[in-house]
């Protein structure tokens, strides 16, 4: 699927669109969206990253394990006048990751921006987390990022940027009772810093975006498991949206952040640093 260079006339975020990613060739792994059975699901982070990046001038490849979800994201981009390609595969499978990145590079004419947004949650408290739960969460939330960073090292061009979606659960465990999820998100900090160090000589940046309590389908599911999640005091007085998180990714992927690498940017309304 392909379109043409984007000309923004309307749509989410268009009133503040500045073409910050003009010319960027971006692969978003986890760019589809899961609804978890919700009848009226809010926008997901992966889809928001893809849509905002396209509005900001990027040519986008949408990768997801669910081809229908990737297709919906790509359709939204193309319908707004942007360029989108679809790649399909399991981000926790080494051969799939290699194929997705190579296919995206072929479709886009190279890759100079990469957003890693895969993540799941499973289990409940230590007593309710099976070994299978633990291994699956680590596979999707940590192994997939390692695999993508390893393959991308040979694909990304000098001056490229990588972003990774983490969670304030890595620091503020009061927001989650899911030990596998908490541990996996904490592990991303070490992985990102190691990658930032290894990528730096080639002028490639690696940063983490750390969302707090965000109103997504997964967030609403988490609130069903942990009802007090929705009453957690947040300094700025509200849960975030997928657009809030996508804005942070867009900034870190843009040339405005050319001297920023190896950092974690909280997008949590002050939750992890004020309380």
Point out the residues that are catalytic.
181
The neighbouring-strand residues paired with 114 are 27, 162
Separation of CA 197 from chain center: 21
Phi, psi of 113 (to 5 degrees): -155, 135
DSSP annotation of 194: H
Q: From residue 15, how far is each of 18, 55, 183, 244 by CA, in Å?
A: 9, 10, 38, 15
- Please give the backbone phi and psi of residue 116, each rounded to the nearest 5 degrees, phi first: -105, 115
Instruction: Let me know if 158 is exposed, middle or buried by CB neighbors in 10 A (0-12, 13-18, 19+).
Output: exposed
Q: Report the DSSP pairing between strands 59-64 and 84-88.
A: parallel
């Amino acid at each position: 699927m392909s379109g043409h260079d984007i000309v923004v006339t309307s749509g989410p975020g268009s009133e503040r669109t500045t073409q910050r990613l003009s010319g960027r060739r971006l692969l978003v792994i986890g760019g589809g969206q899961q609804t978890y059975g919700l009848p009226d699901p809010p926008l997901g982070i992966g889809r928001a990253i893809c849509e905002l990046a396209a509005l900001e001038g990027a040519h986008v490849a949408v990768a997801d394990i669910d081809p229908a979800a990737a297709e919906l994201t790509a359709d939204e981009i193309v319908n707004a006048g942007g360029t989108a390609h679809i790649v399909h595969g399991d981000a926790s499978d080494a051969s799939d990751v290699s194929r997705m990145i190579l296919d995206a590079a072929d479709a886009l004419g190279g890759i100079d921006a990469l957003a890693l947004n895969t993540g799941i949650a499973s289990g409940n408290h230590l007593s309710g987390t099976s070994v299978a739960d633990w291994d699956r969460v680590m596979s999707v939330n940590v192994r997939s990022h390692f695999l993508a960073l390893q393959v991308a090292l040979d694909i990304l061009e000098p001056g490229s940027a990588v972003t990774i979606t983490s969670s304030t659960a890595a620091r503020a465990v009061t927001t989650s009772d899911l030990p596998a999820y908490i541990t996996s998100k904490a592990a991303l900090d070490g992985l990102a810093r190691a990658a930032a160090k290894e990528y730096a000589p080639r002028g490639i940046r690696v940063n983490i975006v750390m969302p707090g309590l965000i109103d997504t389908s997964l967030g609403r599911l988490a609130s069903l498991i942990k009802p007090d999640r929705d009453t957690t005091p947040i300094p700025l007085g509200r849960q975030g949206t997928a657009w809030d998180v996508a804005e942070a990714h867009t900034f870190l992927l843009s040339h405005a952040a050319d001297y920023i690498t190896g950092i974690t940017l909280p997008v949590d309304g002050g939750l992890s640093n004020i309380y």
